[in-house]
Amino acid sequence: MYKLLLCWRYLRTRWIALASVISVTLGVATMIVVNAVMAGFSNEMQTRIHGILSDLVFESHSLSGFQDPKWHMEEIERAAGDQIAGMTPTVAVPAMLSFQVRNQWVTRQVMFIGIDPATHAQVSDFGRYLQHPANRQQLSFGLREGGYDTTDSQSPTETPTRPALEHAGWPHRRMRVERERLWKQRLESQAAENGNPTRPVDQQVDAVLAATTAAEQPAPAAATTAADATPAEPASAVMPRQNPFQRARPEPQGRTMDPAKEQFTGIVPGIGLASFRNREGVDQFLTLPGDDVKITFPTAGTPPKAVSDTFTIVDFYESKMSEYDSNFVFVPIDALQRMRGMIDPQTGIPSVNSIQIRLKPEADLNVVRDKLRQVFPADLYAIATWRDKQGPLLSAVDMEMAVLNILLFLIIAVAGFGILAIFFMIVVEKTRDIGILKALGATASGIAGIFLGYGLFLGLVGAGAGLALGLGITWNINQIRQAVEWCTGARVFDPSIYYFFQIPTIVDPATIAWIIVGAVSIAVGSSVLPAVRAARLHAVEALRHE
Amino acid sequence: MSNPTFSSFASTMLEARQVRKRYTSGSTTLEVLRGVDFALPRGGFTAVVGQSGSGKSTLLHLLGLLDAPDGGEVRLEGRRIDNLPAVERDRLRNTAIGMVFQAYHLLPELTAVENVLTPLLIRHGIWDWFSRRREARREAEELLDRFGLSGRLHHRPRQLSGGEMQRVAIARALITRPRVLLADEPTGNLDEASGAGIIETLGELNRDRGLSIVLVTHDAGIARQARGIVRLSAGRVETVAPAA
């Protein structure tokens, strides 16, 4: 009982020892905050990766893909049907996306992905990331009559608004067509005045291309001269199509398409392709739903040939994973299959690149993957889980977290040496008291117990304060960030880099328990040597100590 | 050298037989006790006197099991105790032997009443203590009250005078109801009046409660108040005599 009493009294009267646990407190608090933020980031990243990738991806090594996805899906169903919740075929090819910003063409390298609007939502969270509420319910590749979100639907209160999307859709398209008509009129009147027509460089290139193609092949009825093409959509009407690469949406025969009332095949590009985020976190759009873009992509077969077509943006896709948002463009799978020549002209059986598979929640990803690998030969098919696909990234994050934890734990270990030194000092200071206790009958283990208990008390106090501080910082990290930004004027957390506006945190009780246990163990461990020294003191010498 | 006056086995409370003690520092060896025989009769009050360095405090430490002799033996009620395991010796110090020191040796973090309770706190574990704490506290308060310290129960040692601190120390030694009380120069740091009060208290304890007491002092006047005097000189017993 005296151990408890003395520990308590020493705790209240020896402030120097409490100073030594400040480093334990800071170490514990830092570890809690860093782990919470890292777990938050990691979780956010995994959610985003998994949001676009289905659980399992079954794909062909070849860009031409494999034939008859229906038969493949039946085989997959037969192999592991009890664990599969949904499947959808996709076609993915590398492509070049071009769109016009004022008079300049912007070209980006993209992954062009054909998806089945009916079934794709079954295998991924794709639908959740679209900007039109109706598309989030059921994706349509038809352009909408406005109603696009002007706030980020995934974090409506924390992000700046996107006023540019207010008129997106048909209103924007009509406005653009009207603007282009007026522009054309002005050009024509200028040309009439000068007697020397001036055309933008791209139109001149398109006109040359059109003339070359027309010379090689008989011009279709719909082909018009370059002069008729609008500045934003100059080539679509003039590029003749050859079989079997028909247009996804054939132009009305015998007339020019009216862009104010009709659209090309709809596509959904990632929002990062169409916009950039400024330092304030406001998205600046280069193009909007309703605008037309050109995409150049390879056909199936060997060697692949490049084909181009015009498409209309119908929505944006925002997974908040910049790798996807600035790289993926989605299109209806049947249109892409037709354009790439992936449909057998005799049988009508299509080919696909991959089959996306969603598993039931209880299913084990790796078990199903291995089952499928046994059925399908590895030289023809690549079967991978979403974790396999992002393996290097996920393991890099895990490694980073482990290293960070080791480094931070060293802070607490350093605190342990502080405790050791201060405890030695206290043992020297208390030598006479130790002699008194021995004279009164305290055993050596009892004396050691006082200092071990004292170490435990200090560890608990330090870790407890660290826990409170760490959780306090974690739960208010965004307010703290704002306060720091307000004080320093510097931006601590740049949303244009991270693609989210709040620092995500996850407090994992098991991690916290480990941190506390570790910190308390270090405190107790550091008091072992001083405790042993105290226990070994000779009673008479201790009593004589001045 | 045996002592014919206090050799009766049955009536001897605490006994030292031919105890030797030497301290070594580097190549120098200092023989402090060179075969000392000492016996304290049951209910006796013996003063050990001698000049500084005569070994009287060392003898008291050996008798109180604070140190182990290099030769000879120490017996309590006829039972040899110096060769017991450390835990047993600790237990005897806590239950059978009470000690009072010249420098009081109170724990500065604890109040007067807590200091008195310390031996009981050492004896009992947490759960045991909770069932006994009221009774123990009452007993400690009674002891302090008897020594005129009822108004100082919750004072820390630094708030007490020397005489008060020594009385707290005596109360602490008595709370365990020891069979023998060893006092090492208990008046050494006190003024004459306080010192006389302490010696009077010890005399009362011896007379009224039959407590066996060994009093180490260098003051012949104080020693005369004991019922027997053992004079040490250069590590040996010089004379053994009843008090004048």
Of A272, A265, A313, A330, the residue nearest A148 (C-alpha): A313
3-state DSSP: chain B helix, strand, coil percent, rounded to 5?
Answer: 40, 30, 35
What is the number of CB-based contacts under 8 A between chain A and chain B? Answer: 73
> Residue B4 — very low, low, confident or very high, per pLDDT cuts 50/70/90?
very low
C-beta atoms of A543 and B122 within 8 A = no
A437 at B interface, C-beta within 8 A: yes
Q: Name the residue facing B121 among A1, A432, A433 (closest C-beta).
A: A1
**A488 phi/psi in degrees, rounded to 5:** -90, -20
If contacts are CB pairs under 8 Å, which of residues 446-505 in chain A contact chain B? 446
**What are the Cα distances from residue A148, in Å, to A159, A169, A277, A320, B197?**
16, 8, 19, 18, 98
Question: pLDDT tens digit string along B116-144?
Answer: 999 998 988 888 888 888 999 999 999 89
pLDDT of residue B159 exceeding 90, the answer is yes
Q: What is the pLDDT of residue A530?
A: 93
Can you tell me the mean pLDDT for A8-27?
79
C-beta atoms of B66 and A9 within 8 A = no
Q: What is the pLDDT of residue A458?
A: 87
Question: pLDDT tens digit string along B212-241?
Answer: 999 998 888 888 888 899 999 888 888 877
> Residue B156 — very low, low, confident or very high, per pLDDT cuts 50/70/90?
very high
Rg, C-alpha atoms of chain A: 34
Using an 8 Å Cβ cutoff, are A28 and A415 in contact?
Answer: no
Looking at CA atoms only, how far is residue A361 from chain B in angstroms?
51
C-beta atoms of B110 and A539 within 8 A = no
C-beta atoms of A441 and B122 within 8 A = yes
A444 at B interface, C-beta within 8 A: yes
**What are the Cα distances from residue B11, in Å, to A168, A417, B79, B95, B227?**
113, 56, 13, 20, 15
Q: Name the residue facing B109 among A10, A438, A441 (closest C-beta).
A: A10
Of A401, A385, A525, the residue nearest A455 (C-alpha): A525
Measured between CA atoms, the residue of chain B closest to residue A13 is B109
Q: What is the pLDDT of residue A213?
A: 47
> Residue B243 — very low, low, confident or very high, per pLDDT cuts 50/70/90?
low
Average confidence score pLDDT of chain A: 82
Q: What is the pLDDT of residue A232?
A: 41
A4 at B interface, C-beta within 8 A: yes
Q: What is the pLDDT of residue B235?
A: 85
Burial of A67 (0-12, 13-18, 19+ CB in 10 A): middle
Looking at CA atoms only, how far is residue A24 from chain B in angstroms?
26
Q: Name the residue facing B93 among A6, A439, A543 (closest C-beta).
A: A439
Lowest mean pLDDT, pick from A66-80, A102-116, A157-171, A287-301: A157-171
Looking at CA atoms only, how far is residue A534 from chain B in angstroms?
16
Question: pLDDT tens digit string along A219-261?
Answer: 343 333 333 434 444 444 444 444 444 444 445 555 677 888 8
Strand partners, A343: A350
Q: Name the residue facing B90 among A436, A441, A540 (closest C-beta).
A: A441
**What are the Cα distances from residue B101, in Å, to A402, A450, A483, A486?**
58, 23, 62, 65
User: Does ipTM come in above 0.85?
Assistant: yes
Using an 8 Å Cβ cutoff, are A10 and A454 in contact?
Answer: yes
C-beta atoms of A543 and B106 within 8 A = no
Q: What is the pLDDT of residue A82?
A: 82
Question: Residue B207: CB partners within 8 Å, gap ≥ 6?
Answer: none
Please tell me the distance from the alpha carbon of residue A194 to that of residue B240, in angstroms, as a whole number: 144
A536 at B interface, C-beta within 8 A: no
DSSP A288-310: -BTBEEEEEEEPSSSS--EEEEE
> Residue A344 — very low, low, confident or very high, per pLDDT cuts 50/70/90?
confident
Please tell me the distance from the alpha carbon of residue A72 to that of residue A70, in angstroms, as a whole number: 5
Amino acid at B210: G
Q: What is the pLDDT of residue A226?
A: 37
> Residue A199 — very low, low, confident or very high, per pLDDT cuts 50/70/90?
low
- DSSP assignment, residue A165? G
Q: What is the pLDDT of residue A85?
A: 86
A433 at B interface, C-beta within 8 A: yes
Percentage of the residues of chain B whose pLDDT score is greater than 70: 95
Q: Name the residue facing B90 among A443, A538, A540 (closest C-beta).
A: A443
Amino acid at A544: R
Looking at CA atoms only, how far is residue A390 from chain B in angstroms?
57
C-beta atoms of A2 and B122 within 8 A = yes
Question: pLDDT tens digit string along A291-330?
Answer: 999 999 998 888 888 999 999 999 998 887 777 888 999 9
Q: What is the pLDDT of residue A418?
A: 85
A-chain residues within 8 Å CB-CB of B124?
1
Of A25, A268, A14, A227, the residue nearest A131 (C-alpha): A268
B-chain residues within 8 Å CB-CB of A538?
67
Q: What is the pLDDT of residue A7?
A: 77
pLDDT of residue B52 exceeding 70, the answer is yes
Measured between CA atoms, the residue of chain B closest to residue A536 is B86
C-beta atoms of B107 and A443 within 8 A = no
pLDDT of residue A90 exceeding 50, the answer is yes
Question: pLDDT tens digit string along A389-401?
Answer: 887 888 888 888 8
Looking at CA atoms only, how far is residue B117 from chain A in angstroms?
9
Angle between helices A509-526 and A444-475 (to 10 degrees): 150
A181 at B interface, C-beta within 8 A: no
Q: What is the pLDDT of residue A56?
A: 87
pLDDT of residue A513 exceeding 90, the answer is yes
**A61 phi/psi in degrees, rounded to 5:** -70, -25
Q: What is the pLDDT of residue A211?
A: 56
B-chain residues within 8 Å CB-CB of A442?
90, 94, 122
pLDDT of residue A200 exceeding 90, the answer is no
- Assessment of whether the complete model's pTM goes beyond 0.90: no
Q: What is the pLDDT of residue A254?
A: 55
> Higher confidence at residue A532 or residue A345?
A532
Question: pLDDT tens digit string along B61-98?
Answer: 999 999 999 999 999 998 999 999 999 999 999 999 99
Strand partners, A385: A56
Measured between CA atoms, the residue of chain B closest to residue A11 is B109
